Chain A
Amino acid sequence: MALGVNPGLFLNNPSSFRPEEAGYRPAILGTIQLIGGVILIIVPLGISAATYLELFADRTRWYNRIIELNIQNLAGVPSIVFGILGLAFIVRGIFDLGFVVAAGSMTVAILVLPTVILASREAIRAVPSSLLDGALALGATRLQAVRKMVLPAAAPGMLTGVILAVARAIGEAAPLLLVGAATFVTFDPNFWDGGYSALPVMIYSYAGRPQEEFHVLAAAGVLVMLVVLFFINSIAVWLRARFERTW
């Protein structure tokens, strides 16, 4: 066998009996969609939650203390619990989305949201208060001062939080199994409709097969996942560098 990567690894659909032709195509696309959805949810939600808690919330109020306590505790909850919650409330229940990528995105987003919030709060706290004071002393409203001074200054730190969250989200298999990521899909995923798979789930499936070739395929899948992770992180690092230059 020649050294080098067979493009079929990325481009082919999985096969249950021909490991030499089996690939990760639906799983890669599934993971990209899934993570895209996660980012769309966690960036606005995480940043606004952190901004509220750090700059607007009155800490002496009981409801703010409960929110704070919950966020800290949620960061330590096993991911499978989020999977069950996702199944009950997102796949079925209130949202009733069915077993689709969107449901997976929402579930994983909730799972990693505490990471984003905690990192973003840390980033906001690191912005010197003289910046806020300076803007307020000029007659800016609190909202203007926060939006134009504090948030741009905290943006690089917040992006670091998003990177950490995405790195975690990309490797999660347990909650996805519960919210419908199938182990065997031979078509491209659609965000709102139909079955999907994701890289860790697919790897798990290949690793569990009896044939030796599938085990090799699972190992290759891990490498593929690392490449996807690296790709997503590069975008984040690039964005971060851009933000740092403009403020």
Chain B
Amino acid sequence: MEQAAKNEVFSLKDMSVHYGSSLAVDSVNLPIYENEITALIGPSGCGKSTVLRSLNRMNDLIPSAKVGGEVLYHGQDMYGSDVDPVQVRKVIGMVFQKPNPFPKSIYDNIAFGPQTLGMKGNMDEIVEGALKQAALWDDVKDRLKDNAFGMSGGQQQRLCIARAIAVKPDVILMDEPCSALDPISTFKIEDLMMELKKDYTIVIVTHNMQQAARVADRTAFFTVDTSRGEGSRVGTLVEHDETTKIFSNPSDERTLDYVTGKFG
């Protein structure tokens, strides 16, 4: 019952996403709480990435994508006509599946966001602060002017996290951030996430169930609904709950089958 006291950062209410005329995700009802890590898990094509990308309006970049229902951010409709997607992305940062550092120096990678948004303050301090928060400062403090492509994959991903932190967001969305990384780098990122959830709300999409079990406070399980007629593949939210419950005693049989490895 302690959840009742928690702040809802996002509330998805009967949310759906269409790509053109085909329905990709249907009737998602999901709360996401402040200073928690929420994991979205499920088999390929279940719409978990689509849901994630609708939380900072990255779906807007696909012209045919259309979000229905309601996505509330601190009670405010994120898809309201008066909401500027650019403003949304300033407060809701994103880390992508493949590390995507800019073809610039480590320093400039971090500084790009604050500079572009016209943030005030000493840029050196902003860069140092972000790198320290991403536990990357000690690795790179002597080569800030080096090209970011010279870093290892895990470091690049932590740089992308640092880059997202540098603009002081409220939420960090992570789209399978460790799928391209080795186990040690993955462990470092998970460690970092545990650290970051003190200051940020984190939503992570992952294929790796152990990862969800390790880091997430709450887990939402999605699956593909093929029962709606010939060839239709609609992503649906099966259930969401505290992670321990999802993995030990889920209320839906499909969740149990998935987390015990019977399919997916």
Contacts and interface: CB of A to CB of B under 8 A. Distances in A.
Contacts of B101: 134
Interface in A129-148: 130-131, 133-141, 144, 148
Interface residues of B, number: 26
A76 to B, nearest CB: 30
Interface string B93-126: 1101010111110000000110011000000000
B66 interface: no
A247 interface: yes
Contact of B100 (A134, A139, A144): A134
B164 interface: yes
A105 B104 CA distance: 37
A153 interface: yes
Nearest to A142: B86
Given A133-B61, A133-B96, A148-B112, A139 B117 contact: yes
A134 B61 contact: no
A141 B86 contact: yes
A246 to B, nearest CB: 9
A148 B103 CA distance: 11
B116 A138 contact: yes
B102 A131 contact: yes
A135 B112 contact: yes
Contacts of A138: 89-90, 93, 112-113, 116-117, 163-164, 167
Contacts of A136: 58, 61, 89
B229 interface: no
A139 B103 contact: no
B3 interface: no
Interface residues of A, number: 19
Given A138-B93, A139-B90, A148 B116 contact: yes
A140 B90 CA distance: 8
A213 interface: no
A133 B100 contact: yes
Contact of A130 (B87, B90, B100): B100
Contacts of B94: 137
B261 interface: no
A96 interface: no
B247 to A, nearest CB: 30
B56 interface: yes
B150 interface: no
Interface of A: 58, 60, 128, 130-131, 133-141, 144, 148-149, 153, 247
Interface of B: 56, 58, 61, 63, 86-87, 89-91, 93-94, 96, 98, 100-104, 112-113, 116-117, 160, 163-164, 167
Q: 10 shortest A-B CB distances, which residue pairs?
A: A139-B90, A130-B100, A138-B113, A137-B94, A139-B89, A134-B100, A140-B116, A141-B86, A144-B116, A247-B103
